[in-house]
Structure 1
Amino acid sequence: MDCVLDVCDLRMRYGKVDVLTGVSFTARRGEVLVLLGPNGAGKTTTIEVLEGFRLRSAGRVSVLGSDPAHGGEAWRARIGVVLQSWRDHGRWQVRELLAHLGRYYAPYSTPGLTRPWDVDDLLETVGLTEQAGKRARHLSGGQRRRLDVAIGIVGRPELLFLDEPTAGFDPEARGEFHDLVHRLSDLEEVTILLTTHDLDEAERLADRILILAGGTIIADGSADELSRAASTRSEVRWSRDGQRFVHAAEDATAFVRDLFRQYGESVQDLEVRRASLEETYMAMVREAEAGAARRPLGVVT
C-alpha cells in the first residue's frame, strides 16, 4: 500500500528515435521526488506516461496499483496534475470555481481514498482565503499559481504531478510554495513528483532526486547521497595565524583530525564542503552524455 509509483524498464520510441531506454524507480506514500535532467532528456514523456496521457513502448508501470494505460475515471480521481502554464479561468471567482470542480470528484469519494476538499479548508491550505471572492483574472501571478495547485488537489489526490511549479516566482512566493509542498506531503501524505530546473529548489524540497539523462535514470538518492556518490573528495577550508588555507581531501574526517593534532586551537574558521548539487548534477550529466557518445549507433543500453 505504501508503494505509489513502481516503474521498471520504461521505454519510449518515437519512430526510430529512442527517448527512454530503460527508466526504473519507485516512490512511497508521502514522498517528494524531484525529476531533473537536461532539455530533451525525456522528463515530460516520463510524466505523461505515468499520468496515462501517453502510451509507452515497453516496460512495466504501476501507478497507485494500476497500469496508467488502462486507468479509468476512478483511478484518475486519485491523481492531481499541475501543468506549467496557467489555466484560463479568468472569469470565475476563486471559491465558486473550486466548489464547482470539487463536485466532479464526489462520485468517487470512498472512505480512506479520494474525497473532495472542503472549499474553506482548501483555500486556507493554499493561502487563498482572502482572495476567495476575487475573479481569477484579478489574482497576482503567485496567487494564480496557488489556484493552479488548488485545482490540482481539489479532489484530495494521493499522487500529485507538478511541472516547474515556481517558474517566475519571486523569492517570497517561492518560499511560501515550498511550505505548501511540505504540508501536502507531511500532513496529507500526498506523494509528489515534480520537475524543476532550479537546483536549489530541488535540494530544498526533495526526499529523493532522480536524474534522467541518456534515456535512463543515472542517479537516485538524496542531495547528500548524490554528492557522496559523485565524488569522494571534499574541500577543507580553514584559517591559521591570519592566513587562509584550502585543501582537497579524500578523507575529510581524517584530514581534520590530523589538522587539529598538528595545530590545535590555532585552527579557526574551519569549513568542510562537499560538491554542491549543481556541481554533482553537471558532473553526472556530462559523464552520461559522454558515455552515450561513445556507444556505437543503434545500440540501446
Structure 2
Amino acid sequence: MVDMDTTTGRKSSGPVIRTSALTRTFTRGKQTVEAVRGLDLEVHDGELVALLGPNGAGKSTTLRMLTTLIAPTSGTAEVAGFDVVRDQRAVRQSIGYVGQGNAAAHQQRGRDEVVSQARAHGLSRSEANRQADELLETFDLTEHAMRPVSTLSGGQRRRLDVAIGLVHQPRLMFLDEPSTGLDPQNRVNLQEQVRRLNRDLGTTIVLTTHYLEEADAIADRVIVIDHGLVIADDTATALKAGLGDLVSLGFARPQDASAAAARAERLDGASVTTTGTSVDIRVPHGRDLAPSLVTDLASTGTPAQRIEVVSATLDDVFLHLTGRSLRESNQTSTDSTTDEGEAA
C-alpha cells in the first residue's frame, strides 16, 4: 500500500526512485543500439548518488527517462512513487532537473527567470517572489540578481540553473554534469552548494559527473554504469577498498623481483605484475600489509630497495571494472541522444 504525505500531497513510501529491467533502444540506420539494458535501480529519500560512466554508457539516457524527457523502450520506472510513463505530470511536479545546457534565457535578468519559473509551477506572484529571493540568497546570487544572465560567470549561471530547478521545492533533484566547463574554484563552490542542498534541506540528489574527485567528495553512493548496465554500486570508500592499494617495490636484480612476486602472489586477493626489477602488487589493505611483506622479503635474501604505496582512486576502480580510464573515455566519445533519436 502506498501512503500519501499529507503535508506535500506526494506518495511517500518506498524508494524515491525504483526501476525494473529499464531499457532504452535507439535506431541508427539499420542498427539497433541498446543505450540502457535492463537497469535495476533503487534510490532512497535523502541520498546523494553519483552516476559514473564513460560518455555513451547510458547515464544521461537514464536521467532522461527518469525525468520523463524520453520514454523507456521496456521495463518500468517510478519516481517519487509515480510511473514515468503513466504519471508524467506528477513526476515533473515532484522533481527538479538541471541539464547540461544553461536553463535561463541569456537576455533575461536572473531574478526574473527564477520568478517566471516559479509562476510556471503554479506559485502565486507573492510566493514566486519570496521563493526567488530565498533561492538567490541560498546560492549566493543576491548581488547578481538584476544582471542579465549573459553577463554572469559560468559558475554563477550553473548556480542559477540549480536555483531554477528548485523553485517548486522538489523532493528530488537530478543534476546532469553540473560542473562541466567550470574552473576549479567554481566547481568546488557548486559542490558545496549541492552538499548543503542535500544536508540542510534533505533533498535527494542524483547527479552524473565525469569528475571522479567530485563523486568521491560529495556522494553517499557511487553507481558505475557501462554499456547500459550497472556494474558497481557502493560507497566510494568501499569501492576503493575492494580494489585495494597499489604496493610498488624495486629490487637490485630481476631475479630478486621475480622471487618477490612469487611470494606476493600468496597474499589473499593480490594481483601482481613484474617489469624488470619492479613489482607492482594490487592488494586489499596493502598499506597495512606492506611493512610485513618488506620484512619477510628481506629475511629471505631479497631486500627491497624501493617501496611506494598508493591508495586506489575511483579512476583505478573504473579502469579495473571496464578496462578503460574514465577520464580518457570521456575525452573520446559522446553520451547524447540526438533529435533523431540516436544514442551515441
TM-score (norm 2): 0.70
Which one-letter code corresponds to 2:159 in the other structure? Answer: R
1:43 is aligned to 2:43: no
**Identity of paired residues, percent?**
34
Aligned equivalent of 2:72, options 56, 59, 79:
56
1:68 corresponds to: 84
CA distance in 1, matches of 2:33, 2:129: 41
Aligned equivalent of 2:314, options 267, 277, 288:
277
Unpaired stretches in structure 1, ≥5 consecutive residues: 109-114, 238-244, 264-269, 288-301
2:20 corresponds to: 8
Pairwise CA distance, 1:159? 1.0
CA distance in 1, matches of 2:297, 2:81: 59
Pairwise CA distance, 1:177? 0.3
1:165 corresponds to: 178
Unpaired stretches in structure 2, ≥5 consecutive residues: 1-12, 250-277, 299-306, 325-344
Pairwise CA distance, 1:136? 1.4
TM-score (norm 1): 0.79
Worse-superposed segment, 79-88 or 116-125: 116-125
1:98 corresponds to: 114
- How many residues align structurally? 269
1:146 is aligned to 2:159: yes
Query: How do 1:168-207 residues align onto structure 2 when only pairs under 5 Å count?
Result: 168-207=181-220
Q: Kindly report the root-mean-square deviation, in angstroms, between the aligned alpha carbons of the 2 structures.
A: 3.0
1:28 corresponds to: 44
Deviations 1:232-277 (A, max 9, x none): 454379xxxxxxx9974745335446779999xxxxxx98533211
CA contact (8 A) 1:117 1:155 kept: no
CA distance in 2, matches of 1:20, 1:102: 33
- Indicate how the Cα distance of structure 1 residues 286 and 254 shifts in structure 2: closer, same or farther if over 3 A, else same: closer
Which one-letter code corresponds to 2:319 in the other structure? Answer: M
CA distance in 2, matches of 1:26, 1:37: 18
CA contact (8 A) 1:116 1:154 kept: no
Query: How do 1:256-267 residues align onto structure 2 when only pairs under 5 Å count?
Result: 256=291
Q: Please identify the structure whose Cα radius of gyration is greater.
A: 2
Aligned equivalent of 1:135, options 138, 148, 159:
148
